[in-house]
Every structure is written in C-alpha cells, then in structure tokens.
Amino acid sequence: MKRFARSPLACAAACAALACAAGARTAAAASVRPRAASPAVRTALGRLWLGAAWYPEQWPESRWPKDLALMQAAGINVVRVGEFAWSTLEPHPGDYRFGWLARAIAEAARHHIHVVIGTPTDAPPVWLTSRYPQVLRVHADGRPAQHGNRRQFSYASPLYRKFCRAIVTRLAQRFGHNPDVIGWQIDNEYTSESYDAGTRRQFQSWLEHRFGTLAALNRDWTTAYWSQTYTAWNQIPLNALPGNPGLMLAHRQFVTATWLGFQRNQLQALRAHIAAWQFITTNIGGLGWSDNWDHYAITRPLDIAAWDDYVGEGQLSFYRNGAMSDFVRGWKRQDYWVMETQPGFVDWAPISNSLVKGAVRAMTWESIGHGADAVLFWQWRAALGGQEQYHGTLVGPDGKPEPLYTEVQRVGREFKRASAVIAGTTPHSQVALLVSYESRWAIDFQRQTRRYHQLRVLLDYYRPLENLTHSVDIVSTRAPLRRYEIVFAPSLNVISRSLARHLRAYVLGGGVLVLGPRSGMKDQYNRLNVERQPGPLVPLLGGRVQQYYALDAPVAVSGAVGRGTGGIWAEALSRHSPATRVLLRYGAGNAWLTGKPAAIEHRYGRGAIIYLGTILNRRLMHAFLARRLAAAGVRSPFGVLPRGIELMRRVGAGREVVIVINHGEAARTVRLPHEMHDVLHPGHLVRTLTLRTQGVAVLEHASPG
C-alpha cells in the first residue's frame, strides 16, 4: 500500500493544454478570448479587470440596468454573481430556474461587463438542510450547525456533494459556453471542518490508506507515550483538542484532503462541460494567512489562484498586505485575482472603521503591483436585509453612489490607461521566502511561548527584504529554487528527508539558504529529528543547535554587521566543521547563551547554508540581511527609498513596469535611476517623482531591455 508521505494529498490530474473556442457572439466577449489557452487559461485574459460582487437575485430586474450603468461609468468590467443564490437557482428539488441569471448576464454584457459565476454551494437552501439534516456540519463540541447562516454543511458529506454536483453540472451545461462568462469560482471561502461520525470514519479510512498498518501508525506517532497505542482503526479520535502531535498534524492534512475532494467534485463537473477559455478558481479568505488547510495543495488543480483581501480594523499595513499578496502569488507561482477587497470598511472587525481617503485606490494598485490582474470589491450594493447590512459597498441601499464610488471610478480610468502596458507582466524576484504548512501547524500546536507568532516572524524577514530588493517571492518548500540567488526559510520546523535533499541540491548548485530559528526540529510525522536541529541538514551546516530557549527578556547579540538584541526565541549553536564560521554571538544576559554562536555559515558545493538561531531586533536584522544580499549579489537599481514609499516591479513582454505608492502621511520624493514614462499621464517622462500621501504612479521603462 502506498504511503502518504510519498504522495501527499492526491489531486485531480493537471489539465492538458486547452484549445481556444473560435468565434464570439459579442464584441465584448471576443476581446477577451485567448488565442491559445494555457494551463492558467491566460490568467489576465489580456487586460486589467476591475469589478464587484453583484447580487441581481436580491433586486427587481427593473433596477439592473441602472446598477450596471453605474458600474460601467466607474470602469467596472467584470462582476461575480451567483455564489449565494442556490435558493433562487433551485427553489425546489430539481426545479432549476436559470432564466433570471441568463438575463442578468445578458444585461451585464450590454454594458460591456463580463461575468464570473460563483457556484452556489456555500449557502444551501432550507429544503436541502431540512430534508437531509445529515448533511449539516457538527461543531467540535458535538452541536450540529443550524440553517439560517451559511457554510452550515459538512464538506465531507457524500450526500451534500451529490447535490452540489447536480446544480454545478446544470450551471456548467447552461453557461459553460456563454461568451460573456469568463470564469467560475468554486464555492466561497472554505472554512470550517466537521466532527460528525461520518467524517470521523473517513478520517480513520484516510489514515489506514496512508499508513497501511496500525503498527506503522503507532511507530510514526510514538503512541507508546502515555499508552496511546491503537489496536483498531475505529479507536482513533477526531476532535479539536490538543493531543498526540502526529495525530494533530495528520488531522490538518486530512482537512486539506477533504477540501480537495469537495473541490474536485465541482471541478470535474465544470471541466466536463465548460469551454477552454473559461477559467476555474476559488476565493480564499482568512485575511490570506489562515492555516486551517494547505493553500498550495488547494490551488494546485485550479487554473488561477484568488483571494479575498481585507484589512478589517485599523488602516492598511502595506508590508503585511504586500507580503500576503506575494504569498498568494506564490500559491501557483503566477499572477492571481483578488476576488473580494474591502470597499472602505467591513462589518465584522472589533472596530469597523473606514480606510482613509485614497487608501482603497492605493490598496488596489498595491495588489496589481504584487501580481494581481483583477481586483473586485465586496460588494456592489448594500443589501436591505441579511447579516452583512452594515458592510461597506460602492452603492447604498437606495441605489445612489457612496462617497467611495468616485475613488473607484478614478481607479477605473487608470486601469483603462494602464491595462495594455501591464498585461503580460508579472513580478520577478531574485529572493524567496519559504513557507511550509506542516511547519506552521507543528509550531502552532506547541508554541513554547505565546509570543512566537509565525506571521510576525515572517514579516521580520519580509520587511527588510522588500526594502532592499523591492520584490520578494513567498513560495512553498516544494517550489523550484534554482532561479533564486538566495532563499530564506524562517520557522522551517518540519524538514523531511526529501525536503532536505531538495534544499541540499539548491545549495550544491550555488544557492544560498538562510534558515531561521526552530528549523529542522521535526520530521514529516511531527516527531523530533534525532540529529537535533536542523535535522537532516546538520551535515550540510557543519553544526547544529545545542539547545533552544524561549526568552522572557531580550539577549545581546553582536557580530561583524553590528550589535543588537535577540528576542522571543534563542538557540545556542555549535560548530562541527572547521569550515563553519560564526557570524553572530550572544552577549551577556543569559548564562546559557553567553558567548555561544547565534548565527553560523558553512560554504557547501557552489553555495552556502546559514543558520540564524534567534529573532533579531529590526536594526540588526536589516544589517544582517543586507550583508547576506550583498554577498549573494542581489541589489535593486532603485536603492533605498523614503519611508512609507512602496515600489513594485512587473516585467515581461519586453518591458518593465514600476508601480510606486506613497503610504506615508506627507509628500515624498523619489529619485529614479533613469527616465520612465508616466503611464497615468501619457506623454510625460519622469526622472524625479513626487507623490502626495496615498499617491500612486505607474511607470514604464523608457528604454526597456
């Protein structure tokens, strides 16, 4: 029997190259048909997309033309429809009523607006959940979910999947070749797992398929500890309680497999009937960083990745939002869509304040700069009823534009000017940050200190790297690495033998690998690696971690790059090879650490591996990373920028496009390395750029190549 470790999370096979459908019923549709569909179905479809979520089923048809005319006037060219409309599409079992949706799509086309159809399976109708209560999700405490909200079903329920496949098949048959439909979104923001008896049996069967024998499971989970040894598969629990580390990691992997199965059910139904030029995606929520399941695995079978970009309380943190955008781009290592973004304010934050004037425009352009080809707002018009009445919109319940409408309208004009320049380009980085869901889960299960927040640790690396290079990839540990001059792996807690081989090959080939604290502590079963840290990479490093310490106070750290402190976590390192050199040492303050190496480096093959065993303060971290980048030959022609300035580069099709945003509270001036065309002000050449607060510039290299 195959072991899970050899073939994790089996997915639907990748699609073969798709042929483009010839002809078009409307000129609008013809303008977006790709000439030859690629595995990404030509993600951008040749232009920038500005859109909104539109719910025509909530309004009289007589209102539709007015709403769509306002959208057209704002420069909106795509809407997402249908993802919550199951009770309108199928008001009674088998009674499919798609006429209203066909009319809505046709009316949108008359206003030169294309459509992405969301499958309606995130909000089942009451006839389904009342007749078949067995499809309802069960909370971790044993309570069944109730109708009246959304996502009250179990993703694992075979019966629920049957109903989903039926309506998705019918929708695909009806609209799969409609020239005004350019894509499909499966469901909406996968979220909560179920703890019902049927899902538990599926978990047990999944484990049996993965491990083959109970002896293997007991060995790999070390179940002799606390007499946890299992003698039957049906003894294995499914709950949300802290427990055996191996079981907890396996549960997260099972949740990912469950989501994949739910998604595959609809993916197959769509691909059986839709045209090659219609893409398929799903919108991932959770502010980008949710860790209930593996985003890399979920997006792998889809044509493009998409996410929902929200700030919530407070104001835009451009480093965090930029990092999340780069993270999303790394899911499939290609451009992506923002299927929902915040139209000023939300209704679910502790304080649902509005973003400052101009920030929505800046946030939209930031998404484009980091690799988005589309930004859609949630939602177009305020619903009269329902749980999200207070959420921000572009149009009020009376159908009149909200104050934010004019800001979005400006973006629409700018997209029209910049679309042809940006189409076919994507960010290109020499530097990567590695993310592993197994590592994230393993650390969060056993944090050792409540202050160790992995996203904050990632941002400690990302912030200076972005400042120094203006382009950072955030990718899976399984991604090809040869293109990168230097790779950083903060918190790479789980390093299996296969991952170690992958990283070793990168270093041997000339790459520089920088490991952060807690790296290599665990193997793929969440067991401690016997070599200590960094596990199977100890021979490569020529050293290892002697001991780790959760800190209650900072410790002094110094080296050739300067002096500072290490906080939250610290590891005392040792050298086993005379070729391994010390880069940083701990100073006085903690007797266990005093004088011990805090960072070491070993040249190996044509490359090098570096281990940093603590979380440095910002100034020392910047200096440390700047030295590593310089040694690797990585630099940006734009140099150091004024505080609050974000600069993003997209390259391709023989050109370079630079997007500059001033997120600061005062005007800033940026000196460019060469003259550039001002795309938003055609005919202007720029060498010195001055931007007011929330100002945006889109520039094209005057002499590309």
Positions annotated as catalytic residues are: 189, 340
- HEC secondary structure over 281-305: ECEECHHHCCCCCCHHHHHCCCCCC
Segment holding 506, helix H or strand E: helix 497-508
In 108-202, beta strands by DSSP E? 114-118, 181-185
CA–CA gap between residue 17 and residue 208 (Å, rounded): 35
Cα separation values, 462 from 319, 364, 458, Å: 8, 20, 6
**In 3D, which of 649, 614, 651, 612 has the Cα closest to residue 628?**
612
What are 355's two structure tokens?
Answer: 């973003």
CA–CA gap between residue 279 and residue 262 (Å, rounded): 18
Phi-psi region of 525 (alpha: psi -120 to 50; beta: other; left: phi over 0): alpha
SS3 689: strand
**How many Cβ atoms are within 10 Å of 405's Cβ, its own excluded?**
18
Cβ-proximal residues to 54 (8 Å cutoff; 6+ apart), any chain = 67, 71, 79, 80, 81, 104, 108, 379, 380, 381
Cβ-proximal residues to 335 (8 Å cutoff; 6+ apart), any chain = 40, 43, 44, 304, 329, 371, 372, 373, 426
In 370-446, beta strands by DSSP E? 372-377, 431-435
**In 3D, which of 672, 73, 657, 683 has the Cα closest to residue 418?**
657
DSSP letters for 13-41: PPPPPPPPPP--SSHHHHTT--SS--TT-
Q: Are 664 and 643 in contact (CB under 8 A)?
A: yes
